[in-house]
Structure 1
Amino acid sequence: MCVGFGNLAFEAAAASFIPQEKIEFGQDTLGISGQVVENLLPDVEEIGVNPSIPEKLLRERFARLEKSIPLTYHKSSHDFVEYFIYKKASFTKSMMEKMPLFFPLFEKTLSKYGLPGELKYLSMIESGLNPKVISHARAGGLWQFMPATGREFGLYQDSYIDERFEPVKATEAACRYLKQLYNIFGDWELALASYNTGPGNIKRAMRRSRGTTFWTIYNALPRETRSYVPQYVAMNYMMNYGNDHGIYAENPEYQIPNDTIHVNGYIDLVAFCSNSGIDFQELGKLNPSITKTSLPDQTRDFVLRVPSVKYTYLVSNRSIIMDSCTRKLIAAAMMIAMADSCRTDSLGKNAAFPYAYVSNDQEYDDEASTVTVNRTRKSSHTVRRGETLNSISKKYGVQIADLKRWNHIRRSSIMKGQRLVIMKEVKEVVTSASRLAVAEKPKREPAKSHRVKMRYHTVQQGDTLWTISQRYGLPLNHLKKANRIRGNEIKPGQKLIISS
């Protein structure tokens, strides 16, 4: 993107996913390092000399797909359609599989800024939907921001953090930039071209050619930019008609359910993963903006995403875990919150208790010393005769898009008897006593015994001890010991203790 160094998705396609060089951001890196892709844009004039797909068919389908952004039929767009079908079917398939991972975010953010929803296909051309990819010119992330342009649009970058790799913030920045470009040219094809090569180059091409549209300045544009808009058109087509050409998403990818931790101060992420049972590579996927294996002393209010399946274990063992990966001489407060939380209100006013629960929509009462925390609960709904996704979404007060995402539904049809997953937010009240009990183990046992409320799980058909332990973030041996189970056999209807 931005001054002509984007187009990484197509570079990756042309390179047939060539081995990608790792960029070192320091001594250590977290997860997958930034990846460099060679600029191997093919010669589009030599593709599709004898087209296999009828021109009439493509013209009809382009017209059917066209919404706010023109999908102009041109020889080069026809060539790229055939390229993605016959030469790079594996790349096309990969893009189909990654759509569920990023498109809900793209659609939500584009709608927020009043931009055409079909702009979501642009990131496929820019980065191949790889949030860690980086070009030789140092453009990085899903939307391929150059370092200076990224900073201009509020994407923070230092030796430890690069927000160009953070999907939510990078998408926000891309929407602001695309809106700015459209306001300059008043034409979406020119705005897309300027996203690739920069508005200055587009204006110079307009002066040289005396043209006012992308196709009238086509021959005055850099070669890469001439191919950019046709690639976008072709990718839009492939994501909607790829199945008609025998290309299917066999292994769609979805967001890992996650909660968030607010980190202040130094944290060793390798030790954190080791002691919390979190897979280090999984932490890297959830936090692509982190470029090293630790966060520095000066870290303030960094939102670290962790797998939800580890949440209970993390809370139950927080003191031990944090002692293992933070520096005791530094007031490094870690705040637990649900996913999408973007604010930290520290409750750790007493230095002896640096850890506290918070939530995005928390209610804190100083006198009662309680916090109301929003948690996401999973339930199910069995489809009845006559019900639709629309009626079910209204019944539970959720979005149709979320309902489809939770249940991996591509289309809008559902069947009677089908069980659907419903995710709902519920409020939990945490008292000061329970917060302090988690923050620090008392030095002495209280004189009076306290009644402990037990939590149970009722075994469902298909449940195993392992799946139950993963669901609640409990070590398998602890689960078996608490329930006095010697083997691995459990039965539907059986009640298991999951906490005490």
Structure 2
Amino acid sequence: YLKDLFDIFGRWDLAIAAYNAGEGKVYSKLVKTNGEKFWDIRRQLKRETRNYVPSFLALIMFINDNKDLVDSVLDVPEFTYDSVLVPSQANIKQLASWAGISESEFRFYNPSFHRFATPPYLRNYYVRIPVGKAEEFIARMNSTPKEEWFKAEAHVVRRGETLSQIARKYGVSVTALIQSNNNINPRRLRPGMVLVIPYGPSASVKSFSYSTRVKKRSSIDDAKVVSTNDPKGIIKYRVRRGDTLYSISKRYGISINQLKEWNNLNSNNIRSGQTLIIYTN
């Protein structure tokens, strides 16, 4: 996950900050301050994140300067696992089932897995599973229809509703509901918020794709891709209202820095109607 964040921001200080505060929060502060690095937005972040990045960097320096001491303290059995490529978005429940392990054991092997499914903006995502289960995992994955890989439902919060009430309504746990919505704080639940309900047991629950939810909130999927006689591998993307460099970079699996470099952008600000060049492979 930390490496994914580095691919998005192109800097380790921003990746570390996003690991703690969330990529959306970091990107919004970059836009607000027209900043380029963590130290440009540090005062805009919460105290925890302001202190997290320097502490993280200090720990790295300490480890590099005291390798013998650290090695003696961390003299524990080597943690081994198999790494398997998942080519499309899938629920954690499905991933655990393919590996033949429980969801809690799957989270043990994948501690950075905070949501209920693999990220929608990463087509190729590697997961860790116990040694010796890779072939079984791949066989089960390939035999499962793609439409069953990812299932969820959207719920619009009504006035007076609580997470407990919503969880009971769909037959899921409050913990699963919190994890499915980026560790949402129950006290910050507001009318009109859209929550993702993971793998409800009801047969009437409709399959709900993440792209549909994003479409309703940011109109990213409504954006027009201008097609001309450009060489293969080049896309001209016309910016729509609500687009940001962050949302576009996630949509195409590229970094913000790449977008800025390809389009000679000196800041994170873009305007509706603007055309951006995107190189694909």
| TM-score over 0.5 (shorter chain) | no
What TM-score do you get using the length of structure 1 for normalisation?
0.22
What TM-score do you get using the length of structure 2 for normalisation?
0.33
Give the structure with the higher percent helix.
2
